Amino acid sequence: MWREIIQQFPSAEIRNPVDSGTLDRIEEALGQPLPVDLRSFLLESDGLSDEYGTDVIWPAERILADNLSFRGDEEYRSLYMPFDPLIFFGDNGGGDQFAFIRMPERNEVFVWDHETDGRNLVAPSLESYLRSALESDGEDWYR
Domain spans of the chain? 2-135
Q: What pLDDT, on the 0 to 100 scale, is given for residue 139?
A: 60
For 31-80, where are the alpha helices, taking DSSP H only? Answer: 36-42, 60-72, 74-79
Q: What pLDDT, on the 0 to 100 scale, is given for residue 116?
A: 94
Q: Each residue's pLDDT tens digit in the chain (143 positions)?
A: 999 999 999 889 889 999 999 999 999 999 999 999 999 999 999 999 887 778 899 999 999 999 999 999 999 989 999 999 999 999 988 889 999 999 888 999 999 999 999 999 999 999 999 999 998 876 666 77
Burial of 49 (0-12, 13-18, 19+ CB in 10 A): middle
Q: What pLDDT, on the 0 to 100 scale, is given for residue 13?
A: 85
Q: State how far the Cα of 86 lies from the Cα of 67, in Å rounded to an integer.
A: 8
Instruction: Out of 3.40.1580.10, 3.30.360.10, 3.40.50.300, 3.90.1150.10, select the CATH number for domain 2-135.
Output: 3.40.1580.10
Strand 97-102: give its sheet, edge to edge.
Answer: 86-91, 97-102, 105-112, 119-123
Dihedral (CA of 11, 15, 20, 26) sign = negative
Q: State how far the Cα of 122 lies from the Cα of 110, in Å rounded to an integer.
A: 5
